[in-house]
């Protein structure tokens, strides 16, 4: 009985709470760490699809602060349009991997990092940006 409880507890530690009915996406401008509004995702089905992807992947815990070579290509977060506020303070930083077929995500405030497989990368990138990853 105790082992079942421990398995359930460990399984829950990778779950990240994403609330809100809108996703705000920002795109990096040039090579600097400056961003402009790029996309707002308000369609409830698309928001739910993105939440599903983020909640069903195995987030690894970074042991140290993740340091990337360049600033993220995109940033996004969830908002509630009825309250017009960022709900959980989580900002997802998104990089396109050098091989261009995968994306990397970091939640700095949670020390979370992941390198998605090609299928999930393409799916999430299309939902977030409206573009095909292999065309970037």
* Model pLDDT for residues 41-72, shown as the tens digit of each residue: 999 999 999 999 998 888 876 655 667 889 99
Q: Torsion-angle region of residue 23: left (phi > 0), alpha (psi -120 to 50) or beta?
A: beta
Domain CATH code at residue 10: 2.60.40
Q: Average model confidence (pLDDT) for the chain?
A: 81
Q: Classify the C-alpha dihedral 108-111-115-116 as positive or negative.
A: negative
- pLDDT, position 126: 96
Beta bridge partners of 78: 23
Whether residue 104 is predicted with pLDDT greater than 70 in this model: the reply is yes
* Cβ-contact 112, 60 below 8 angstroms: yes
Q: Which helix (H) or strand (E) holds 60?
A: strand 60-61
The predicted-structure confidence for 8-17, as pLDDT tens digits, reads as follows 333 334 445 5
Going by the DSSP 8-state scheme, the letter that residue 43 receives in this structure is: -
Overall domain count for the chain: 1
Whether residue 130 is predicted with pLDDT greater than 90 in this model: the reply is yes
Coil vs helix vs strand at 106: strand
Side-chain-facing half-sphere of 117: CA atoms under 13 Å: 5
- pLDDT, position 10: 36
The residue written with tokens 């990337």 in the block is: 68
pLDDT mean over 118-136? 94
Q: Which of 90, 104, 86 is nearest to 22 (CA)?
A: 86
Confidence of residue 136 (pLDDT cuts 50, 70, 90): confident
Going by the DSSP 8-state scheme, the letter that residue 94 receives in this structure is: E
φ, ψ for residue 43 (rounded to 5)? -65, 120
Instruction: For residue 26, give its domain range.
Output: 2-135
Whether residue 22 is predicted with pLDDT greater than 60 in this model: the reply is yes
Confidence of residue 32 (pLDDT cuts 50, 70, 90): confident
Q: Which helix (H) or strand (E) holds 26?
A: strand 22-28
């Amino acid at each position: 009985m105790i082992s079942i409880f421990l398995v359930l507890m460990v399984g829950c530690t990778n779950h990240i709470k994403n609330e809100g009915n809108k996703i705000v996406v920002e795109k990096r401008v040039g090579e600097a760490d400056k961003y402009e509004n790029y996309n707002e995702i308000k369609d409830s089905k698309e928001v739910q699809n993105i939440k599903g992807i983020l909640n069903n992947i195995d987030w690894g815990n970074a042991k140290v602060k993740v340091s990337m070579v360049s600033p993220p290509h995109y940033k996004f977060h969830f908002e509630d349009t009825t309250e017009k506020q960022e709900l959980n303070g989580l900002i997802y930083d998104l990089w396109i991997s050098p091989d261009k077929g995968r994306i990397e995500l970091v939640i700095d405030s949670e020390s979370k990092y992941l390198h998605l497989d090609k299928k999930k990368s393409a799916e999430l990138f299309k939902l977030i940006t409206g573009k095909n990853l292999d065309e970037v």
